Each structure stands twice: as C-alpha cells, then as structure tokens.
Amino acid sequence: MAPKKIIIAIDGPAGAGKSTTAKRVADILDYLFLDTGAMYRAVTLAAYRRNLSIEDAEAMALLAGESVIDLRMQDGEQRVFLNHLDVTKEIRTPEVTQRIAPVAANAQVRKVLVRKQQQMGKDGGIVAEGRDIGTVVFPHAELKIFMLASLEARADRRVKDLMQVGIQADIEQVMEDIRRRDESDAGRKHGALLQAPDAILIDTSLLTLEEQVQRIVALAYERGA
Ligand code: DC
C-alpha cells in the first residue's frame, strides 16, 4: 500500500524539545514542518515594532489577520518571515518572549492563526508542533504526541538554542521565564496546553534527540506514513 500523508501533532511545554524533534521527523518523512509558536512570536514582534498595545484584543486580531507570516526551510533551517522580512532571530529575543502571553491568550488572534495552520495542513504530510495542535488545530491527526521534560532539562536546552542564534542567556532567568510560561500556557481559557486523551506521552528528560525522533517515526510508520 502506498504511504499515507498523515498529520503528526506534537504538543508540550516550552523547551521540551518539540521543535528540534519535529523538524527531524519532518525531514525523515519528507513532510512539512510547522512551528506554530513562531507564528505567535511573529504577531507579538509585529505589535512590538508598531508600538501597539498587546492588551488591545481587537487591534491584535486585526494585526494577526493582516500579517503575512511565512515559514520556510532554507538549507535545513527554518526561517521565519514577517511581511516578507526575515525575523528568524528577532522572534526569539526576550523582548518578544516576555510579551507573548496576552497574545497567546487572545481568542481572536488564536482563531486567525489556527485557521492559517489548518490551511497549511489541509493535504496532510505535516508535522505541527505547539500547545493546542492535537486538541484544537488538528483534532483528527493520525498521530498525537505529548512531549514532557523536567524544568532543568528544558532550561538547559533553551539556553543552548539561544546560544546557537547568538544570544547569551542566564539559566536562572530562563528557568523563571519557562515557569511563568508554563503557568500562562496551562491557565489560559483558549488554546491551553492540554494533553489530548489519544496523545502518546513521551518524557524526553533522559532521551537523546535521535531516540525521540526514532520513536515518533516508528509510530508514524505504524499509522501508515
Ligand atoms: O513554542 P514557543 O516557545 O516558540 O511558543 C511561543 C509561545 O507561543 C508560547 O509561550 C505559547 C504560545 N503558543 C501557543 O499559545 N500556541 C501554540 N500552538 C504555540 C505556541
């Protein structure tokens, strides 16, 4: 039987290793990689640059609707474009990360971004990662993964990720940021971080990247990919 182009949904808290894992899985299966957090980050950056109040729900929803957000793979790396300009590095800065909670909690912004995400996955063959992928964006995904890791392991990875894009971060500060984001991710009314009942839990604290990747790829093959 010819392989199916399935949807793989990966959810979990900040720093659990979702992005790197999802990117590798997408690579192996020759699927699209969708980093939905990058979209929330891009909208937050757009507001910051325009000096728009992120608390203004209506204005933020309009901004999300009119922002052109492109996620492209270039030389094996994901690049993020906001209104055709490369903002890959800017969306990872603390200025953006610290302002993101009200944007992610905005139901109207979520509606706009979720629709864009569903559009990108309409033909299957996609590995999407975020917080609400298996619950809201692709509730019918053939494979749902919920990735977890200890706070220490997550902070350590985040510091290394930031270093790769040339940002020097303090581990204590990163842990505090993650703790705060866990709270707002779990506590918001719309699109809260939630394990779908049919999601498979993977604790990555003690797994290598390759082990995580192989586990998910094997599950994808089981589901017909
Ligand atoms: O995965 P990340 O750290 O780049 O995500 C940035 C923020 O975006 C995070 O604080 C929560 C939010 N987010 C969300 O609300 N829903 C998603 N599907 C993905 C991210």
Q: Concatenate the DSSP letters of all residues of 45-69 into one string.
A: HHHHHTT--TT-HHHHHHHHHH--E
**pLDDT in the model for residue 31:** 97
91 or 166, greater pLDDT: 91
Report the distance separating Cα 99 and Cα 121, nearest Å.
28
**pLDDT in the model for residue 94:** 85
**pLDDT in the model for residue 148:** 94
CA of 185 to the centre of ligand 1 (A): 8
Q: Which stretch of 84-88, 102-106, 161-165, 203-207 has the lowest confidence by average pLDDT? A: 161-165
Q: Is residue 219 part of a domain?
A: no
CA of 3 to the centre of ligand 1 (A): 31
Query: Is the Cβ atom of 100 under 6 angstroms away from ligand 1?
Result: yes
Give the domain extent around 122: 7-207
Instruction: List the beta bridge partners of residue 202.
Output: 147
Average pLDDT over residues 90-110: 94
Cα→Cα distances 17→75, 155, 205, 222, Å: 21, 11, 9, 22
Domain of residue 43, CATH code = 3.40.50.300
Q: Whose CA is nearest to atom 15 of ligand 1?
A: 104
**If pLDDT is split at 50, 70 and 90, which confidence band does 157 have?**
confident
Number of domains forming the structure of the chain: 1
Question: What is the number of alpha carbons within 13 Å of residue 213 lying toward its C-beta?
Answer: 14
Q: Is residue 212 part of a domain?
A: no
Residue 11 CA: nearest ligand 1 atom is 18
Report the distance separating Cα 185 and Cα 197, nearest Å.
18
CA of 193 to the centre of ligand 1 (A): 9
Please say if the pLDDT value at position 161 is more than 90: no
**If pLDDT is split at 50, 70 and 90, which confidence band does 120 have?**
very high
Question: How many other CB atoms sit within 10 Å of the CB of residue 141?
Answer: 25
**If pLDDT is split at 50, 70 and 90, which confidence band does 23 have?**
very high
Q: Is residue 127 part of a domain?
A: yes
Answer yes or no: are the C-beta atoms of 77 and 153 closer than 8 Å: no
- Tokens 């993964």 correspond to what residue? 145
Query: Is the Cβ atom of 11 under 6 angstroms away from ligand 1?
Result: no
Question: How many percent of the chain have pLDDT more than 90?
Answer: 82
Residues 6+ apart with CB under 8 A from 224: 1, 3, 4, 6, 142
Answer yes or no: are the C-beta atoms of 128 and 8 closer than 8 Å: yes
Q: Which of 19, 33, 100, 111 has the most ligand 1 atoms within 8 A of CB, as the residue to mutate?
A: 100
**Mean pLDDT of all residues belonging to the chain:** 94
Instruction: Tell me the per-residue pLDDT of 33-55, one tens digit each, with 9 for 90 and over.
Output: 999 999 999 999 999 999 999 99
113 or 75, greater pLDDT: 113
CA of 223 to the centre of ligand 1 (A): 27
Q: Whose CA is nearest to atom 9 of ligand 1?
A: 37
10 Å CB burial of residue 166 (0-12, 13-18, 19+) is exposed
CA of 145 to the centre of ligand 1 (A): 16
- Tokens 């790396």 correspond to what residue? 77
**pLDDT in the model for residue 211:** 96
CA of 133 to the centre of ligand 1 (A): 11
CA of 35 to the centre of ligand 1 (A): 9
Answer yes or no: are the C-beta atoms of 48 and 59 closer than 8 Å: no
Average pLDDT over residues 81-107: 94
Q: Is residue 221 part of a domain?
A: no
Which two tokens mark 45?
């950056």
Query: Is the Cβ atom of 7 under 6 angstroms away from ligand 1?
Result: no
Closest to 6 (Cα-Cα) out of 186, 141, 199: 141
Q: Is residue 134 part of a domain?
A: yes
